[in-house]
A and B are shown apart, each in its own frame.
Chain A
Amino acid sequence: MKLIFEKSVSGRQGFKLPVSDVPVQAKIADRFLRKAEAVLPEVSELDVVRHFTQLSQLNFSVDANFYPLGSCTMKYNPKFTEKAAGMPGFAELHPLLPQLKGGDRYVQGALEVLYDTEKWLCEITGMKAMTMQPLAGAHGELTGIMLLAAYHQAKGNKKKYIIIPDSAHGTNPASAAVAGYEIISVPSDKNGGMDIDKLKAVLTDEVAGLMMTCPDTHGVFNSQVSEIARLIHSVDGIMYYDGANLNATMGRCRPGDVGFDVVHLNLHKTFGTPHGGGGPGSGPVGVGEKLEKFLPISRVLKRADNTFVLDYNYPDSIGYIASFYGNFAIILRAYAYMLLLGGDGLKATSDHAVLNANYILTRLKKYYQVAFDRICMHDCLFSASKQTERGVHAIDIAKFLIDQRIHPPTVYFPLTVKEAIMIEPTETESKETMDVFIEAMIKADELSKSDPHVFHAMPVTMPISRPDETKAAREMNVNFFAPRA
């Protein structure tokens, strides 16, 4: 498809600006001015709308396709939450209003949303306090590690290492490294959980904490979590809960009750906010007693008269981690989602997410090698090892699924499983949809026996075939206007 710049015709403009009603034509000295206009496209409003509508039609999405991308929780995003976020009383609210003198008065509704969301997320996770400020999951991770660092610094602890299981998301080690820690990776045992003997072997007084996703990316809830917490606490380490998969256990287990000291959540996973093609997300962080005083500022408090106030007076706080109070319009969507579902509805989302994943696991076991032969949580993990012996890799199966109008599961992650295929149906998908997917997966297996060579041309129904990623990385053409390599 042509780029919008290639549709540009000199003299066109897609937006009408007001005629100036002030008797001033201001002039800035030439030395402060740009030499030439920015070469933005010159197109009509219809050109823009048609262009982007046609672009959108090149995408798979939850609204149009089954999207079982493992660990990403591509559940349905209720439409009303978007309408809620667009309410002018919220959408037009300037973030500096509460920073005016007595400014909390002007944003009481917004502060109440933040306060209630924090309170409910605390109840769901068993944490004492929460900050809504982190702007995405990875940002929440960094915030959580900064809280952990503040704790050790305040106690005068000399800590150097963060322990992370090998099944963790890449953001875990990256976040811990950005915060200044060295990483110790612990392998998984044959059942998919963290190998507790290997954990004991690396546990020293220099360990600052452990980052644990629970259930983890293997889809496994580690039954030994309390024992792991005891071990980490024995060296005054902090138990960090990566909430990527909280969607499996709401109402069944709260991280705060099983020994975690700090959690981050992904509202765009568990709480139904949109993924947006890669953000914006929201990554609230909750803490237990130990870390509370280090939480970022500002914090939302409720006064005795039921009004709300932003409080900055926390001398031990790690300070400011975001410009304002978080991705408010995303938080508002999650708040609306929780209001609609209530406690029972949230528990039901977890129950059905786990049921759906186990259904797919059971049905596909005969055809694909399961990574860990056990009941799973929110996602089920396979390896395309059998198919690979026939020359058909996980990526080939992914491309086959695209031709069936199904978004592929996550492939080649987690790194612990060769030719990994990680399937997360979520609770919002019906049995019929999953059956279509299962049949497609079975068909792919059959085809890997009968006709393995046909996979390499797939997908054949999309606007493009497989891209040359090496060429992209070598030539680095990332700007239409730059000279081509």
Chain B
Amino acid sequence: MNPYIANTQTDVRAMLDAIGVKSVDALFVDIKPEHAPKSFDLPQGLSEFEVMERLRLLAAKNTGALVPFIGGGYYDHYVPAACSAIISRGEFYTAYTPYQPECAQGTLQALFEYQSSICALTGMDVSNASLYDGGTALYEAMMMAIRITGRKKVIMDGGVSPIYRKLIKSYTHNLHFEFIETPVVHGQSDRVAMAKLIDKDTAAVIVQNPNFFGTIDDHSDIVEKAHAAGVIVVSSVYPVSLGLLKTPAEMGVDIVTGEGQSLGLPLNFGGPYLGFMATRKKFIRQMPGRIVGETVDADGRRCFVNTLQAREQHIRREKATSNICTNVALCAVQASVFMSLLGRQGFRQLAQLNLDKAEFAREVLGKVPGVEVKRSSPTFNEFTVRLPKDASDVVEAMIPRGFAAGFPLGRYYPGMENYLLVAVTEKRTRAEILSFAKVLAEVLR
């Protein structure tokens, strides 16, 4: 029994008669006996109730109810109920790419509003309608810079998420690029190393703000040097921080990308997430992904369509700006609902709350014996502490005590085994932070 198939025996008979064949098997004549499956050994189907029960048991096998101080670019922000309610509407959830704009204005206008909010947040001129996630968006931005400049050298700040950097290296392995990573000095981009490397062969300088260590920076000086050599500057940003921080546009950045998970999307064990991308208007034709544009209908009414499709694979095939087709429209709508709910003041307040809580946690953790908190550069809602022993052991010891204490930096930065990256969002309470410090002190004792 398959509850998603309507055809009864009578329907099947009537349709087979109309087609003029005796059996459903006869419709598969092109699949010859030698093409038959050698095996098709799958479990028996279950009822909906049984499936849900099984999933509940599986979910219970994950360690639940940890107080999360773990971030690394993916944060435990609160997801307002209205976000989930809106994107659960079948009219959004079960529609597809708006190929027929007359019966898809809902998705199209929602994406236009999303693009506008991303522009408001980043200060840039234009945004696309989303890419897969923050990591792949950064890769696409790098490819875009290479197309714009026709150059093949890329300078990557070591403060860019190591997760993103690994991914970009896999993608470019077969292509002939010169790829140089610069170190992080006192938690910030190494200006001296970058200045030496920027030259007329450089396509892009790639930075991140706040960087992987949580440090805030103003990259205006790097942008100035890069632009003097005709180099594109790409910045990966954490959108919640833009409630307060200097925008990439104010720094003169050319292409902005980021991970939009913190804009109302659950952590979901790694996806789906939301890659956003915004740039200057003059680069719009080199931007990958769907773009929604405003126009008018035959009667002069404002409406929205997918535009500049001549960049895309379904028109240009191998000459397209990217192979991207489907992206994450539903996640973009979700983020748009989130940004609309928070609004102009709420978004700033959210950022301030994150900053305050993290600052408090930093003060409190700094008083734990043996814990060293570096104060040389400002941070947003994530910061690095140095522990007297291997951070991965400390984190392991904290889990049974109910805390996901942070991300040990040694995994991605050899030599930093004793460093722990701690994230604090608006959801963490004073009591949780104090308790975290107390338990950490016990574990370190």
Contact = CB atoms under 8 A, between A and B. Distances in A.
B318 A110 contact: no
Contact of B322 (A178, A258, A327, A465): A178
A80 B353 contact: no
A20 interface: yes
A34 B76 contact: no
Task: Across the A-B interface, give the 6 residue pairs with the lowest CB-CB distance, nearest first.
Answer: A89-B59, A324-B270, A342-B45, A63-B90, A276-B330, A343-B42
A429 B377 CA distance: 60
B407 to A, nearest CB: 6
A57 interface: yes
A328 B106 contact: no
B195 interface: no
A4 B106 CA distance: 12
A339 B68 contact: no
Given A26-B358, A93-B268, A468-B297, 19 more contacts: A3-B109, A24-B356, A26-B359, A32-B378, A38-B348, A40-B344, A41-B344, A45-B341, A60-B103, A61-B94, A84-B52, A90-B62, A100-B392, A276-B93, A276-B328, A278-B327, A375-B27, A464-B303, A478-B284
A15 B345 CA distance: 10
A281 B96 CA distance: 11
Contacts of B307: 469, 472-473, 476, 478
Interface stretch (A167-175, A199-207, A284-292, A445-453): A167-175
Given A173-B318, A463-B105, A467-B296, A20 B61 contact: no
B230 to A, nearest CB: 24
Given A20-B356, A59-B105, A83-B52, A31 B91 contact: no
A466 B16 contact: no
A416 B359 CA distance: 62
Interface string B279-312: 0010010000011111111110101110111101
Nearest to A25: B356
Interface stretch (A230-238, A353-361, A383-391): A353-361
By CB atoms of chain A within 10 A, which of B61, B169, B304, B339 has the most? B61
Contacts, number: 706
A97 B19 contact: no
Contact of B96 (A29, A69, A399): A69
Contact of A24 (B41, B339, B360): B360
A303 interface: no
Contact of A17 (B20, B337, B353): B353
B15 A472 contact: no
29 contacts: A32-B378, A33-B246, A53-B86, A89-B64, A92-B266, A97-B70, A101-B393, A108-B62, A137-B326, A138-B326, A149-B174, A173-B318, A174-B313, A183-B318, A319-B167, A319-B170, A323-B135, A325-B270, A329-B269, A330-B272, A343-B41, A355-B12, A358-B15, A467-B304, A473-B309, A475-B293, A478-B126, A478-B291, A478-B293
Contacts of B115: 478-479
Interface stretch (B77-85, B150-158, B435-443): B77-85
Contacts of A361: 19
Nearest to A281: B326
A473 B308 contact: yes
B63 interface: yes
Contacts of B6: 428-431, 433
B178 interface: no
Contacts of A462: 102-103, 105
Contact of A482 (B119, B304, B395, B411): B119
Interface string B8-35: 0001101110111100101111111011
A100 B61 contact: no
A430 B11 contact: yes
Contacts of B313: 138, 169-171, 173-174
By CB atoms of chain B within 10 A, which of A25, A74, A253, A402 has the most? A253
B120 A91 contact: no
Nearest to A429: B6
A176 interface: yes
A99 B112 CA distance: 37
A326 B4 contact: no
Contact of A38 (B266, B273, B344, B433): B344
A165 interface: no
Contacts of A171: 313-314, 323, 325
B395 A355 contact: no
B445 interface: no
Given A279-B130, A462-B103, A64 B329 contact: no
A346 B5 CA distance: 11
Interface stretch (B179-187, B200-208, B237-245, B365-373): B237-245
Contacts of B126: 476, 478-479, 482
Nearest to A330: B272
A429 B5 CA distance: 7
B2 A348 contact: yes
B426 interface: yes
Contacts of B43: 120, 339, 342-343
A302 interface: no
B323 to A, nearest CB: 4
Interface string B50-79: 011011111111111010101010101000
Chain B, interface size: which category? 35 or more
B192 interface: no
Contact of A139 (B64, B74, B136): B136
Interface residues of A, number: 209
A213 interface: no
Contact of B4 (A78, A253, A296, A465): A78
Interface string A69-99: 1001011111010111111111111111101
Interface in A163-219: 169-171, 173-180, 183
Contacts of B267: 91-95
A282 to B, nearest CB: 8
Contacts of A93: 62, 267-269
Given A4-B113, A277-B333, A342-B43, A177 B319 contact: yes
Contacts of B19: 355, 358-359, 361-362
A427 B64 contact: no
A267 B179 CA distance: 34
A482 B281 contact: yes
A279 B329 contact: yes
A199 B113 CA distance: 47
B418 interface: no
Given A14-B341, A86-B84, A275-B94, A249 B323 contact: no
B314 A82 contact: no
B117 interface: yes
Interface in A344-384: 344-349, 351-352, 354-356, 358-359, 361-363, 375, 377
B374 interface: no
B86 A52 contact: yes
B164 A477 contact: no
Nearest to B357: A22
A241 interface: no
B132 A319 contact: no
A38 B122 CA distance: 8
Interface string A425-439: 001111101000000
A26 B37 contact: no
A478 B98 CA distance: 16
